[in-house]
Structure 1
Amino acid sequence: MKILYILGNFPKVSETFILNEIYQLEKRGHRIKIIAFNNPEEDIEHDELSNIAAEVHYIDSIRKKSIYKALPTTKKDVKALVSLPKTETMIKEKIKNLYRTKQMSKILDGSDYDPDILMTHFAHNNKYSVEHLSSIYSVPWVIEVHAADIFKKGRKEQGSKLLRYPQKIVTVSEYNRNYLREEFSLEKSIDIVPVSIRPEKFEPKGLKEKNKIVSVGRLVEKKGFKYGIKAFAELKEDYPELEYTIIGEGELENELKQLSEELGVREDINFMGYISDQELKKQIEEAKAFILPCVEAESGDLDAMPMVLKEAMALETPSVSTTVSAIPELIEDGKDGLLAEPKNPEVLSEKLSKLIQSKETREEMGGEARRKIVEDYDIAKNIEVIEESFRKTIT
C-alpha cells in the first residue's frame, strides 16, 4: 500500500509511537510518504528516525501575507471549498485548512505518488484539511485518536464533529473506545490498535541495580509528578539513601523543584531533562522501581496508556502507576505492577515500599511485566492490526 501520513508535528520527542508505526510499515513493504505542518526541531535521538526511508515534506508556514493564496483559483480549490464542513465555523480556521490543503495538493501533484490511503493522528481542527484532501483525490482516510485530543475540556463538541468524516477511526484502548461512544455519541466502528513498542529495543542487559526510583515524562500536570515527589519524601523517612531521578522537561519544572525544596528532598532528586535512548534505558533498568503517578488535569487532559510504562515493563523494572483511564488495562495490580488511586502520595509511597524492600517481588513483577509486553504490545505483531484497518477502509 501507498500510505500518506499527514501529521501536525514531525518528528516529536513525545510521539515516538508514530516513528515505530512508520518503521514497521516500511519493513513490511509499504511505501510511506509524510506531509507535516510543522517541524518542532526538537533535539531527538531515536533509532527509528534514522532508519525510516519515507520522504518528509513540510508545508509552507501560514503567514498573514500568504493567506490570500488560500483563495480558490482552480477546480480543485473550488471542490475543497465546497467540501468545507459546515461545522468548521470559524472563517479563519477554514482559510487555514484550505491553505494547508492547497499546499498538500501541490506536493502530491508534483510527484508520482498516488496514495491508497491517508493516515493521521490526533483529532485536532487542523485535520479538517485531511478531509478536504480526501475529498479532492477520492482517497479514504483513517484517524487515530489518543488522549488530549479527546479528553481535554472543549474537545467533545469539536472532536465529535470532526470524527464524522474519516472512513475509519482507530484508538489505543478499550477505555478510549467506550469514551468515544458514550461522550462523542459515535456509532461508527472504532478499531483498537494499542500503541506498541519494540521489545527487542528494551531488552534488559542485567545492569547492576541502584538505590533509586525513576520517572519519565513531560513535566506537566497530568503526569502527576508532584505526587511522586511527595511520595518520595515519605519514603525517605524509611530509606534515607534512596534517590529519585525525573527525566523530562516541561512547564512545571521550576514548580516541581520548588516543591522538592520545601519537602527537604531537593538534593536527592535529579532532574535530568531529555536524554538519549541509550541513557534512558540505562536509567530505567538501574532503578528499583519506575513511578508514573498520572492524574486527570484540571483541563480534563489525561494519559490513556503511556508508552513509557510499556518501556519500563519491557526492561523488567517494576512499575507503580495509578488507576487513571486505560492504565489498568496495561497493569494488573499485584501481578505485573502496582496501582494506586490518583493524587494519593501516601498509597504511592506504600506501593513503592513493597518493591524497594523485596528484591524477590521486584524480580517476579518485572518478569511478568516483560512477558505481557512481549505478548500484547509488540509493534511487530500489532502492526498487523493497523494493516487490517487500512485494508478494511480501502475495500
Structure 2
Amino acid sequence: MNIAFIVDVFPILSETFVINQVTGLIDRGHEVHIYARQADGNKPHPDVEKYKLVECTRYLPAIPQNYLARFFYALYLFATNFSQAPLVLLRSLNIFKYGKRAASLRLFYSTLPFLDAPKYDIIHCQFGRQAICRFGFYSYEGVVLREIGAVEGNLITTFRGYDISWYLHQYGENVYDGLFEKGDFFYTNCEFFRQRVIQLGCDENKIVVHGSGIDCSRFTFKARYPDASGLIRIATTGRLIEKKGIEYAIRAIAEVAKVYPNVEFNIIGDGELKEHFVQIIQELNIADKVHLKGWRNQKEIISILDETHIFVAPSVTASDGNQDAPVNTLKEAMAMGLPVIGTLHGGIPELVEDGICGFLVPERDHKAIAQKLIYLIEHPEIWPQMGLSGRKKVENNYDTNKLNSELVAMYKQVSGNDLYSKDKKNPLPSASPKYI
C-alpha cells in the first residue's frame, strides 16, 4: 500500500508513536510518505536515521509572515509549479469557497508538497486538528487538500488527546462536524476519547480504539527490590506543562520526605513550567531530593528508569481542558517492571489497574500520591508482582508490533471498501464497536 502521514513536526522525540507506526509499516513492505510543517531541532529518535525517514518526508515551504512578501513568493511558486497541477493551484486560491484559508495564501502553500504525490491508499492524519486545521493554527488541512485534488486516498484520522480536549475548549464542540461527514474512518487511542468523539457526532460504526504502542523489546523487564543503601528512587517523564501534573508529584515528595528522608525524585523532561518548579522545590526545601534532569533521549531515559523503584504519572485536566490518553511514558515504565502511580484522569485508568499494576489517585491530590508512595515504600514485597502485572498488561495491549499489524488490517479494510465514494453508504463491515 501507499500511505501518507500528515503530521505537524517530524521527526519529534515526544511522538515516538508516529515513528513506531512508520517503521512498522515499512517493515511490512508498505511505502510511507510523511508530510510535515517543520522538523524538530532536537536530536531525533535513532530509527529516524536507521530507516532514513527524513528522505521520505516532505516539508511545507516557509511561509513569509509579511503578507506582501508572501504574495510575491507565492507568485514565483505559482509560476514555477503551475505546469505540474494547474487546477489544484487554482482551486487553492478560491476565496469564495475557502475564505481566509485561500485569501491568506496558506492553502496555496499547503498544496505544494503534494503536487507530485502519488495516489495513496490511505491518508492518515495523526491528530484531528491536522485533518481540519482551522485558519491560523496549522497549515495542513487533510480534508480540504483532498477536496481540491492535491492528494487522493481514503482519509483516516486519529484523535490522541489534546485534539479532543484542549482543541474543543478552544474552538467549540462543532469543530469536527465537517470531518465526521467527509472523513472515511477514525480511531482513538483509548475508549475514553472514543466515547467523547461519538458524543460529538461521529458515527460509532466508523470509529474504533487502536492504542498507541511501544516497542516492548527495547524496555527490558527487571523485578524491583529495595537498594541495600535504603535509597528509594522515584521518577516521572513528561513535558513540564500543566497537564502532566508534575507539581503535585513534587509536593507529594515533600510529604514523603518527612517520613522517609532517604528518597530521590528524578523528573525527566523540559518545558514552560521549569522555573515554576524550581521555585516550588526551593520553597519546600527539597532541592537535595528533587532533580530536574531535562530532556533525555530514549537510551538515557531507559538508563534512569533501570535504576528507579517507583514511577509516577500524575496527569491532570489542564485549565484549558487539555487531557491525556494512556501516556506512553507510563507504558514504558510498566514494561520495565516498575510499580506505578497514576491518576483517575482521561485514559490512564484503562492502562493502570488499581491495586494490580500500581495505584490510581484523584487528580491534583498530592497527599493521595504521598500516601501511595509511602505505602509502596513500606511494602516493597509487592513491587515484583506489580511490575510483572504491568509488563503483561503492556505486552498484551500496547506492543507496537501487534498494534502495527492491526493497523495494516484496518488500512486494508478501509481501502478495500468503497468508503471513499461520495454517498458513504458502505460501512466498515468487520469493525467492532471498540477494537479491530
TM-score, normalization by structure 1? 0.91
Show CA shifts across 1:60-101 (max 9, x none). Answer: 11113234628796222234556x996x66446863123201
2:107 pairs with 1:106: no
Summarize the Cα distance change of 1:282–1:225 in structure 2 as closer, same or farther, 3 Å threshold.
same
Distance (Å, rounded) in 2 between the aligned partners of 1:49 and 1:93: 36
Moved over 4 A (4+): 70-73, 79-82, 91-94, 205-210
Q: Is the 8 A contact 1:288 1:356 kept in 2?
A: no
Identity of aligned residues (%): 26
How many residue pairs match? The answer is 386
Name 1:144's counterpart in structure 2: 158
Per-residue deviation, 1:204: 2.6
SS of 2:291 mapped into structure 1: strand
- What code does the residue aligned with 1:294 have? S
Summarize the Cα distance change of 1:220–1:160 in structure 2 as closer, same or farther, 3 Å threshold.
farther
Q: Is the 8 A contact 1:150 1:159 kept in 2?
A: no
Name 2:201's counterpart in structure 1: 185
Distance (Å, rounded) in 2 between the aligned partners of 1:235 and 1:85: 62
SS of 1:233 mapped into structure 2: helix
Name 1:267's counterpart in structure 2: 288
Name 1:2's counterpart in structure 2: 2
Per-residue deviation, 1:286: 1.4
| Pairwise CA RMSD | 2.3
Q: Which of the residues 192, 200, 209 maps onto 1:175?
A: 192
Show CA shifts across 1:91-147 (max 9, x none). Answer: 46863123201x123342xxxx44222112112214763223323143222111111
Distance (Å, rounded) in 2 between the aligned partners of 1:163 and 1:8: 21
Distance (Å, rounded) in 1 between the aligned partners of 2:174 and 2:288: 46
SS of 1:267 mapped into structure 2: coil
Q: Is the 8 A contact 1:198 1:380 kept in 2?
A: yes
Q: Is the 8 A contact 1:211 1:243 kept in 2?
A: yes
Q: Is the 8 A contact 1:212 1:289 kept in 2?
A: yes
Q: Which of the residues 128, 131, 143 maps onto 1:131?
A: 143
Describe how 1:313-328 pairs up with structure 2 within 5 A: 313-328=334-349
Name 1:23's counterpart in structure 2: 23
- What code does the residue aligned with 1:23 have? T
Moved more, 62-71 or 349-358: 62-71
Moved more, 340-349 or 284-293: 284-293
SS of 2:106 mapped into structure 1: helix
Describe how 1:1-395 pairs up with structure 2 within 5 A: 1-44=1-44, 46-54=45-53, 55-63=56-64, 64=67, 65-67=69-71, 69=74, 74-80=86-92, 90-91=100-101, 95-101=105-111, 103-108=112-117, 113-124=118-129, 125=133, 126=138, 129-135=141-147, 136=149, 137-152=151-166, 153-155=169-171, 156-182=173-199, 184-187=200-203, 189-204=206-221, 211-395=232-416
Summarize the Cα distance change of 1:61–1:299 in structure 2 as closer, same or farther, 3 Å threshold.
same
Per-residue deviation, 1:35: 1.8
Q: Is the 8 A contact 1:336 1:369 kept in 2?
A: yes
Show CA shifts across 1:186-233 (max 9, x none). Answer: 225112110010111001357885521001100000000110011100
Q: Which runs of 5+ in 2 are unaligned?
A: 417-436
Q: Is the 8 A contact 2:223 2:387 kept in 1?
A: no
Show CA shifts across 1:293-327 (max 9, x none). Answer: 11000000011111100000000011101010111
Distance (Å, rounded) in 2 between the aligned partners of 1:185 and 1:4: 26
- What code does the residue aligned with 1:187 have? D
